[in-house]
Amino acid sequence: MVIDLCWLPLISPSAGVRALHEILEVCNGDKIVWGCDTWTGEESYGALQSMADILARVLSEKIDSGYFNMKDALGIADGIMRDNAGQWYRF
């Protein structure tokens, strides 16, 4: 099973923060992907910025609390934003 956070950051950033905190506590970061499903370049850029903000906020809070170290957090970020989709969807 894979969790795709595609629209959550745009619909509700605060729900995105809460959800990502909880998802990272109950499953591995390698089961999370983010994809962009928008119509225009401007929407795509906004969606990317929203997801990047949520990801940075959640991972920095996890690092500050000692839940993750910096190396693990960076690996999770790379996975969610790039590597995991290729692994799960085999492209």
Using one digit for the tens of pLDDT, what is the confidence trace for 10-55?
899 999 999 999 999 999 899 999 988 888 989 999 999 999 999 9
For the chain, the domains span 3-89
Q: What pLDDT shows up at residue 38?
A: 84
Asked whether the beta carbons of 58 and 9 are under 8 A apart, the reply is no
CB atoms inside a 10 Å sphere around CB 34: 23
Q: What pLDDT shows up at residue 56?
A: 98
Using one digit for the tens of pLDDT, what is the confidence trace for 45-80?
999 999 999 999 999 999 999 999 999 999 999 999
Instruction: Please give the Cα distance from 66 to 70 (Å, whole number).
Output: 10
Instruction: Please give the Cα distance from 37 to 87 (Å, whole number).
Output: 19
Q: What pLDDT shows up at residue 35?
A: 85
90 pLDDT band, cuts 50/70/90, is confident
